[in-house]
Structure 1
Amino acid sequence: MTPLTMFIVSDSVGETADLVAKAAISQFRHDVDTVVMKRFANVDNLKQIEEIALLAQRQKALIVHTLVKSEMREGMAHYAMENGVQAIDLIGPIVDMIGGRLEESPFEEPGLVRQLDDDYFKKIEAIEFAVKYDDGRDPRGILLADIVLVGVSRTSKTPLSQYLAHHRYKVANVPLVPEVEPPAELLQIDPARCFGLVISPEKLNFIRKERLIALGLKDDASYAKVSRIEQEIEHFEKVVERVGCRVINVTNRAVEETANIILDQIEQLK
């Protein structure tokens, strides 16, 4: 496998360049961790640019950058060419195009997209809420949540909660097990804001076995047996019928797909 090193360079935190680079890499490698990615954040002078270009030459790295100041972008182009390094400017061409259309000059202030506005605070609040009320830790969160997820263990409740939190929704998730009576709060909420996550016994059997192996345990524990899984799903079906919520089969769905189904329904309630 051909090795690849990428330098992510930004005059802010570098999240944008990092995400774009990973999206591009994923078209060639399913595991983006096989690519060495080094982030250079808060780069604010030409001396740093020169040093990064020299280092990229030594390590035969590609440079991907989101430098908003024209002086810095020009410096990167100069030093990259001088050192025979490939550098991709992700933001410059777009800024120039928009500036031409608006007939305005850009602010050239790093980090504006991350200003601490209401939207940003709502996202942080939602993420903290999802952590606090994850895995049924506190049933009081069910009544405070915008969205409630229920399901048996290993049906992607936690990653789905975090994904929805990034869309600024407060999410509580509740695991359902036959031996534990579901929280009374589940029967007090609007069923349209509650979603049951179900998965095929075969798929869940595989996932749970892999989970046990990853923990260094034997994969023949009751937790991973099909008979136990079927018992849990039967209990799940009884609970969601009482709640009256929508059930989504997540067997062959990515978290993003499930989230879109939920968001579509929630948006209709507004």
Structure 2
Amino acid sequence: MNNDDGKDVGAILKADIIILGVSRISKTPLSIFLAHKGKKVVNYPVIPELTPPVQLREVRGKIIGLTINAEHLVKIRSERLKAMGLPDDAKYASLERVEEELNYAQSVFQSLGCPVIDVTDKAIEEIAALIMKYI
């Protein structure tokens, strides 16, 4: 978990797999699953307010971008807010914000030239199998 959500940017260079994506897209459970399969995994959040680390430009072929249907992500984020006892109408769970984040993430993925996997309605095991085809 030291490499969860970009906690150790230096680990990017040592990783077998770098997973990029917006919040609540299953980066952490996917990273744990792949780590149990013996892979060194770093996951990093992609949000407009955070510039991606320059180290990502040095690790071509190890990066996977994750995307999801915007409406599906709104539901996931709204449920997360409810579970935390917060109002589910926060900007974090608004369709406008989610679309902004997903569009930004897509531009980051494109600039890095990495494959992108749509995780909508996919199980962690299914996503992991797709990742292993790319790595």
Could you say which TM-score interval applies, normalised by the shorter chain? over 0.9
2:43 match: 173
Q: Deviations over 1:199-222 (max 9, x none)?
A: 011000000000000000000000
1:142 match: 12
Q: Deviations over 1:68-115 (max 9, x none)?
A: xxxxxxxxxxxxxxxxxxxxxxxxxxxxxxxxxxxxxxxxxxxxxxxx
Unaligned runs of 5+ in 2: none
- The total of aligned residue pairs comes to 135
TM-score by length of 1: 0.49
1:264 CA drift (Å): 2.4
TM-score by length of 2: 0.98
Does the alignment pair 1:155 with 2:44?
no
Unaligned runs of 5+ in 1: 1-130
2:53 match: 183
Quick one: distance in 1 between partners of 2:57 and 2:120?
26
1:193 CA drift (Å): 1.3
Quick one: which amino acid aligns to residue 260 of structure 1? A
Among residues 80, 83, 86, which one is paired with 1:211 in the alignment? 80
With CA pairs under 8 Å and 6+ residues apart, which has the higher RCO, 1 or 2? 2
Quick one: distance in 1 between partners of 2:94 and 2:73?
9
Give SS of 1:132's match. Answer: coil
| CA RMSD in angstroms, aligned pairs only | 0.7
Contact 2:70 2:98 (8 Å CA) reproduced? yes
1:168 CA drift (Å): 0.2
Contact 2:19 2:65 (8 Å CA) reproduced? yes
Quick one: distance in 1 between partners of 2:53 and 2:130?
25
Does the alignment pair 1:196 with 2:100?
no
1:232 match: 101
1:221 match: 90
Q: Percent identity?
A: 48
